Structure 1
Amino acid sequence: MLMWLCCVSVTMRLACCRVGGASFSRFILAAVLLLHRCHIASSLQQRSEGALTVVKNTEDGDEEATVDDVGDLEVVQPSEQWQTLKPGQAVPAGSHVRLNMQTGEREVRLGEEQLKYWTQKHRCGCQLNTSSFNMEKEDAGTSFSPDELKRAMRKIKEDTSKDTNHQDSVASKYRPLEELKRDMAQLDMLVETDVQIMRRLLDQFNSSNTTTEQRLSILLELEYLVHQVDNAQTLCSMGGLQFILEGLNSSDIRLQESSAFVLGSALASNPAVQVRAVESGALQTLLTTLANVQSFGVKKKVLFAVGSLLRHFPYAQRHFLSHGGLQILSELFRADGSGILRTRIVTMLYDMISEKELMPQALDPVQDPSHEERLRQYSEVSLQGELLEKGWCSLVPQLLQSTEHDYREKALLALLVMASVCLDQYRLDSSLLDSLLVLRLQYQEMAQSEMFLGEENSYFTEIVELIDALQVKMK
C-alpha cells in the first residue's frame, strides 16, 4: 500500500510540472506504465508474505487450515525425497522445510513421524485409503481439502492405536518369561531317574506300613522297569532280587504271581541277572513253588521265570536236571487238562534241545573267547537221556490230541528234535502213528483250501511239512 501511494504522489508531481501538446501525451503514457509497475510490485509483495501456509493439527483430531482468503489451498503432499516448494503452496504440519542455499528455492519432505508411517504403510504395499487421500503416486501436487487431511491424520492415529492394542492382546495370552523359568526349574527338581524310582519302590516294598495292594502296585511298576537290561542289573545290585524271592514264598497267591512275573522279565536275555539268580538260589525256589503251588496263574508265571532262567544258560540247565526239574515238569504235564501248561513245558524242552544241538554252529571261536567253556558246559547237560528216562517220549505225543493248531505245531517240533533218542518208541506207539495219519489228511485239505484262495506257503502247509518230516524219520 505504501508503494502504491508513493507511485501516485510521483505521478501527481509530474502532472503539475508538464502539461500540453505531445509532451502531455507522452507524459500520460509514462504515468500509466509507472502505475502498472507499482501495482505489480505491490501484488508480489503481498503474495510473498503469505506464500508458505502450514496445515495445523490439533490433539482432538480436528485440523484447521490457516490460508489466504482466496479459494482452496494447493497442498503439497511431501515424500521421503526433497522436492521444490512453489510460492503459495501449503504443507502439512510436521513436514520438514528448508531453504536450498544453492538454488535459493524452498524444499519440503516428510517429517520423522510421517516418514516412519510412509515407510511402514506405503512402501510395503499397504497404501493409505485412496478414498481418503484421493491421490495417485505419480501426482504429488494434487490439491487436498482440510477435511481430507483431517481424515488422513486420524487414520494414522487409529492404526497406531490398533498396533498397540494388538501387542497388548498377544502379550496377555502368554505367561511371563521369568514365571516360565521358575516352573521349568521346579520340574527339573521333580524328575526322577529309573535308579531313583527303583530305590524308592524297594524302600516302600520293604516298609512295614505298606499294604498288600501297594506291594502289588510296586511289583507291577518294577516289572515294567526291568525289561531294560541295565535296570534289571541295577535292581539286583540294590538287593531287589531278594525281595522278589521272598514274594515267591509269600502266602498271598497274588504276590507269588506278581513276583514270578517280575523275576521272569528281569531274567529274559540277561546273562548277568541269570548268574545272580542262580547264586541267590532262585532255581530251587522256583522249582519248589512249581511243585507245591495250586494256583494255575502262579504256575504259568513260574514256568515263564524258569524258562527265562534256563535259556542259553547251560550251567542252570545242569542244575535244573540235577534238582529233579524234569520230574516236576512231567507231573505238571500229566495234571494239566487245558493244554496251556503242557504247551509251555514242551516249548521249554524244545528250546533246550535245539540250542544244545545248534550251539557248535552258533558259537564263533574268534569272536567268543568263552567258546570252549560253553561247549564244555553244554556237554555236561544230559537232557535227552533224562527225557528218555523220565518217559517224555510218550508224554509229548499226547499234546497232538489238542484241538489247537498252535499246540499241535509245538508238539511236532518237539517230537522232531527228540527223534534221535525216542525213535524206537515212536515206531511202537500206534496211537502216534494214527494221529499223524489223521492230522496229515486234515491239514493237507486245509492247505489246499488256502492255496485255492491264492495263499502260498501257508501256516497249514508248514504243519503238513512237519508231519511229513516226522513220518520220514519213523520209516
Structure 2
Amino acid sequence: MRELFVCLCEDRRDKQHLFLCFSPHTFIEAVVMRLLSSSERGASSSCLTLAFLMLLLCCHITSTLSQKSESALTVVENMEGGEGASSDDDGDEVTIDEDEEEGDLEVVQPTEEWQTLKPGQAVPAGSHVRLNLQTGQREVRLGEEQLKYWTQEHREEKEITSSFSPDELKKAMKKIKEDLKPASRDTEQQDSVSSQFRPLEELKRDMAQLDLLVETDVQIMRRLLDQFNSSNSTVQQRLSILLELEYLVHQVDNAQTLCSMGGLKLILEGLNSTDFRLQESSALVLGSALSSNPVVQVKAVESGALQTLLTVLATSQAHSVKKKVLFAVASLLRHFPFAQHHFLSHGGLQVLSELFRADGRGALRTRIVTMLYDMISEKELISQAGLDPALDASHEERVRQYSKVSLQGELLEEGWCSLVPQLLESSDHDCREKALRALLAMAPVCLEQYRSDRSLLGSLVSLRDQYQDMVQSEMILGEENGYFAEIVDLIDALKVKMTV
C-alpha cells in the first residue's frame, strides 16, 4: 500500500486521474499513511496536506455518487432468461454495472445492422458490441446466435399469419351458410320495403274514396279527343288539349294510337281553322307525331295531310303558323321518298320559293334551305355505291322510290340556284353554314350559274377573309378544328368547284 501511495505522490502530472482510480477505502488508508510518514516535517505542513487531501476525497465521493461512468455498459436479461457478456471487437474491456436496476434503463433492441449506443442505454445479453475507432462511439447489433434464432422466429410468425385459426375458419363457414340463404334475406328485404310503401289495392280504395281516377296514356288521349270534338269546348280549352296531346305524341306508340283513334282527322281540322292559334298548335302536334315515325307518316299522306300543309303555307299570314307548318312538312318528308315525290308533284318547291322571297326576316329561309339540303343528301346517300343490299331488305325499293324524286331538276327550274346564295348576306353564322352546305349539294346542277354570278364569288372571298381571322382566334384559344375552321373548309370546297 505504501508503494501505491509513493507512486501517487511521485506522479504529479496525472495526480487527479490516479486518485480517481482508487476505491475510497484504499484512498483513506493512503492518506493516513501519508500523514504518519510526514509527521516529522511539522504541524503546519501536515494540517495543510490533510485538509487538501480530505477535500479531494469529498469531491471524489460526490462525483461518484451523482454521475455514472459514460464508458460503463449495462447488460440486461434477454427475453429467453439467459445472461451473456458483451465484448468489443478491438479487445477493450467492458464494465458491467451490477447495481443498475433494469427498470430505470432504456434497453436498445439490436437488429442485423449496427446501431449507435447512447450514454445510459442498456443492451440485451448476447448482443455484439464494438467501439467505432473513427467516431469514438460504441455500436451494437444482434449476436450470431440471436440472429439465427430471430430469423427462425420471424419465419415462423410469417407462416402463422398466413394461415387461419380454427375460430376464424368457423366464422367464415358461418358467414357462407348465411349467404346461402337468399330466401330469408329476400323476405327481410321485402318486409322492409313493404313497411315503407302501401299496397296498390289500398291506394286504389283510397283514391276511389277521394274520387281520383288513375288513367293510362290511352285513356287520357281518348278523353282529350272527346273534349276537343265537343261543341261545348272553347278555343282556350282546345289549345290546352292540343298542348297535352303534343306532350304525349312524342312517344312513338302514343302517336300511332292517336292516329288509330281518329285524332289525325281532328288535327287536320285544326289546321283548317280560322283561328291562327289553333293552326299553330295543330301543326306542332302533327310535326311531333310525324318525327321519326314511319307509321304516322304513311297515315298522314293517306289522309291528305301534305295538301293541307301546303295550302296553309300558301294562304296563312301569321309568321308563327308558317314556322310550325314548315316543321310539320320537314317531319313528313324526312326519309320518306314517297311523300317527297308527292310534294314535288303538288308544287311544293314553288310554294317554298314564294315563301322564301316573301320572308324578309330570314328565319323561314334557313328552315327552307335546311329542308332542301336534307332531301338532296338523303337521295345521294341512298344511291351511292358501296351500300350492302343484304343489310337492308328494303334497299332496292328505297332506291326505286328515290329515283322518282326529280329534285335537282325542280331546283333549277324554280330558280333556287340564285335564291340560296342570298343567305350568305345574313350575319348569322348558322344561316351561312346552311347556305354553304346547300350550295355544295346543288353544285352538280347549279355550277354554271355559280360561275356566272360574280357577286357569289365576291361574297365567298370576303367571307373567307372574315372567317380566317376567326380561325386564328380559335387557334390562339387552343381550338385547332373549331366551328369557324369548318366554315372556311366549306368556302374553299365551293371555290374549288367553281374554279375547276
**TM-score class normalised by the smaller sequence:** 0.5 to 0.7
1:252 to 275, 280, 290: 275
1:466 maps to 490
1:301 maps to 324
CA-CA distance at 1:176 after TM superposition: 12
1:212 maps to 235
1:75 maps to none
2:219 maps to 196
1:415 to 412, 426, 439: 439
* Amino acid aligned to 1:230: D
Q: How does 1:53-452 map to 2 (within 5 A)?
A: 182-187=202-207, 190-361=213-384, 364-452=388-476
Q: How does 1:31-70 map to 2 (within 5 A)?
A: none
Separation in 1 of the partners of 2:401 and 2:456?
34
The alignment's TM-score, normalised by the length of structure 2, stands at 0.58
Separation in 1 of the partners of 2:390 and 2:358?
47
Q: How does 1:10-25 map to 2 (within 5 A)?
A: none
Separation in 2 of the partners of 1:177 and 1:405?
55
Separation in 1 of the partners of 2:435 and 2:199?
66
Separation in 1 of the partners of 2:196 and 2:446?
78
Secondary structure at the residue paired with 2:478?
Answer: coil
CA-CA distance at 1:364 after TM superposition: 4.2
Separation in 1 of the partners of 2:197 and 2:316?
61
Which structure 2 segments of 5+ residues have no match? Answer: 1-194
Separation in 1 of the partners of 2:406 and 2:438?
16
The alignment's TM-score, normalised by the length of structure 1, stands at 0.61
Separation in 2 of the partners of 1:458 and 1:329?
33
CA separation of 1:201/1:471 partners in 2, compared to 1, >3 Å: closer, same or farther?
A: same
* Amino acid aligned to 1:467: I
Q: Residue by residue, what CA displacement relative to the aligned partner does 1:264-289 show, whole Å, maximum 9, x if unpaired? A: 00001111000000000000000000
CA separation of 1:413/1:180 partners in 2, compared to 1, >3 Å: closer, same or farther?
A: closer
Q: Residue by residue, what CA displacement relative to the aligned partner does 1:245-304 show, whole Å, maximum 9, x if unpaired? A: 000000000000000000000001111000000000000000000000000000000000
Separation in 2 of the partners of 1:422 and 1:238?
46
CA-CA distance at 1:185 after TM superposition: 3.7
* Amino acid aligned to 1:239: G
Which structure 1 segments of 5+ residues have no match? Answer: 1-174
Secondary structure at the residue paired with 2:389?
Answer: coil
CA-CA distance at 1:450 after TM superposition: 1.1
Q: Residue by residue, what CA displacement relative to the aligned partner does 1:151-175 show, whole Å, maximum 9, x if unpaired? A: xxxxxxxxxxxxxxxxxxxxxxxx9
Secondary structure at the residue paired with 1:471?
Answer: helix
CA-CA distance at 1:182 after TM superposition: 3.4
CA-CA distance at 1:315 after TM superposition: 0.5
Separation in 1 of the partners of 2:313 and 2:404?
25
Q: Residue by residue, what CA displacement relative to the aligned partner does 1:198-236 show, whole Å, maximum 9, x if unpaired? A: 000000000111110000000000001101111100000
* Amino acid aligned to 1:429: D
* Amino acid aligned to 1:421: V
* Amino acid aligned to 2:407: L
Separation in 2 of the partners of 1:459 and 1:206?
49
CA-CA distance at 1:372 after TM superposition: 1.2
**Over aligned residues, Cα RMSD in angstroms?**
1.9
Separation in 2 of the partners of 1:221 and 1:203?
14
CA separation of 1:471/1:179 partners in 2, compared to 1, >3 Å: closer, same or farther?
A: closer
CA separation of 1:472/1:209 partners in 2, compared to 1, >3 Å: closer, same or farther?
A: same
Separation in 1 of the partners of 2:200 and 2:345?
64
Secondary structure at the residue paired with 2:479?
Answer: coil
CA separation of 1:336/1:183 partners in 2, compared to 1, >3 Å: closer, same or farther?
A: same
Separation in 1 of the partners of 2:311 and 2:381?
31
CA separation of 1:419/1:215 partners in 2, compared to 1, >3 Å: closer, same or farther?
A: same
CA separation of 1:179/1:465 partners in 2, compared to 1, >3 Å: closer, same or farther?
A: closer
Separation in 2 of the partners of 1:359 and 1:262?
29
* Amino acid aligned to 1:378: Y
* Amino acid aligned to 2:202: R
